[in-house]
Structure 1
Amino acid sequence: MWSRRWMWIAWPAFLAAGVMEVLIFAVFDPQDMVWLGQSLEMSRTAIYTLSFFVLWGVFVGAGFMTVLLSLPRAEVNGQTPTPTAATRDWRLQESLEACYPNNA
Structure 2
Amino acid sequence: MRRRSLMWILWPSFLIAGATSAAVFAAIDPLDISFFGFFQAERQAVYAGGFFLFWVMAALSSALTLHLAPRGRLEDEFGDPVPD
TM-score normalised by the chain length of structure 2: 0.81
What SS does the corresponding residue of 2:78 show, helix, strand or coil? helix
Q: Which runs of 5+ in 1 are unaligned?
A: 73-80, 96-104
**Greater helix percent: which structure?**
1
Quote the RMSD (CA, aligned, Å). Answer: 2.4
TM-score by length of 1: 0.66
Structure with larger Rg:
1
Looking at structure 2, the residues matched to 20 and 37 of structure 1 have their Cα atoms a distance apart, in angstroms, of 25
Q: Distance in 2 between matches of 1:55 and 1:93?
A: 42
On the 8 A contact 1:9/1:63 being kept in 2, the answer is: yes
On the 8 A contact 1:32/1:39 being kept in 2, the answer is no
For these two proteins, the number of residue pairs brought into alignment is: 80
Note the C-alpha offset of 1:46: 1.0
Identity within the alignment, %: 31
- Provide structure 2 residue ranges, at least 5 long, that are not aligned to the other structure: none
